[in-house]
Amino acid sequence: MNQDKIIVGAISGAFGVHGEVRLKSYCADPAAIADYTPLSTESGQVFTSIILTGQVTNALIARVDGISTKEQADALKGQSLFADRSRLPAPEDEEYYHADLIGLSVFDAGGTALGTVKSVQNHGAADLLEVQIPDSSATVFLPFTKAAVPLVDLSSKRIVADPPDGLF
């Protein structure tokens, strides 16, 4: 996807037999995902309307325009949902959309290149930057905290890191 699109959620499968879907929202307010329509998939499918109908553990239940059967809903399982950046609120100071961090070069305080941000992960405790080591297929998970990442400079597409000893 291009930088004009931000991932806001994913469809995790069907809910029931009438075309409702389980929807994972990545928004700070999970229900806000319905406010950012139209949403699109990487394959180009566009949903102009999302109506939230309920909630279950770790997911919202929603009706999505054009989806009326369990089979159609099942076919969408695993599809990420993207919103136009212009529909989303601007991040506050010291906050970033993951899409803005991916691809940034990472340097230590002395200017030595540590790698490039490959992805941003969160397994429950805090965000981690997956940093691709230069000239290697290896990656390192850098805690995305103020202590480990004191500077993010989006305009120069670089991050200055102070990683824990022995991480790199």
| Contact residues for 110 (Cβ-Cβ < 8 A; gap 6+) | none
Q: What is the mean pLDDT of residues 92-114?
A: 92
Tell me, which fold does domain 5-86 have in CATH?
Answer: Elongation Factor Tu (Ef-tu); domain 3 (2.40.30)
Provide the pLDDT for residue 99: 87
CB 79 within 8 A of CB 42: yes
Determine the distance from the C-alpha atom of residue 100 to the mean position of all C-alpha atoms in its chain, rounded to a whole number.
10
This prediction's pTM: 0.75
Tokens of 107: 């340097």
Read off the pLDDT band of 114 (50, 70, 90).
Answer: very high
> What is the Cα–Cα distance from 92 to 72, expressed in whole angstroms?
38
| pLDDT confidence of residue 1 | 45
pLDDT tens-place string over residues 21-78: 999 998 889 999 999 999 999 888 999 999 999 999 889 999 999 999 999 999 999 9
How far, CA to CA in Å, does 67 sit from each of 22, 35, 45, 72, 155?
12, 19, 11, 6, 41
What integer is the mean pLDDT of 120-124? 83
Residue 124 pLDDT greater than 80, yes or no? no
Residue ranges per domain, the chain? 5-86, 98-161
Instruction: Please report, rounded to a whole number, the percentage of residues in the chain having pLDDT higher than 70.
Output: 98
pLDDT per position as a tens digit, 145-154:
999 999 999 9
The pLDDT value recorded for residue 2 is 54
Structural contact between residues 33 and 25, judged by C-beta atoms closer than 8 angstroms: yes
pLDDT recorded at residue 94: 86
Per DSSP (E only), the strands in the chain are 5-15, 20-25, 39-40, 46-47, 50-56, 59-64, 80-84, 105-108, 113-122, 127-132, 139-143, 151-153, 158-161
**Mean pLDDT, residues 6-11:** 93
The C-alpha atoms of residue 86 and residue 6 are separated, in whole angstroms, by 10
Residue 71 host element (H or E): helix 70-75
| Fold adopted by 98-161 | SH3 type barrels. (2.30.30)
Secondary structure of residue 32 in the 3-state scheme:
helix
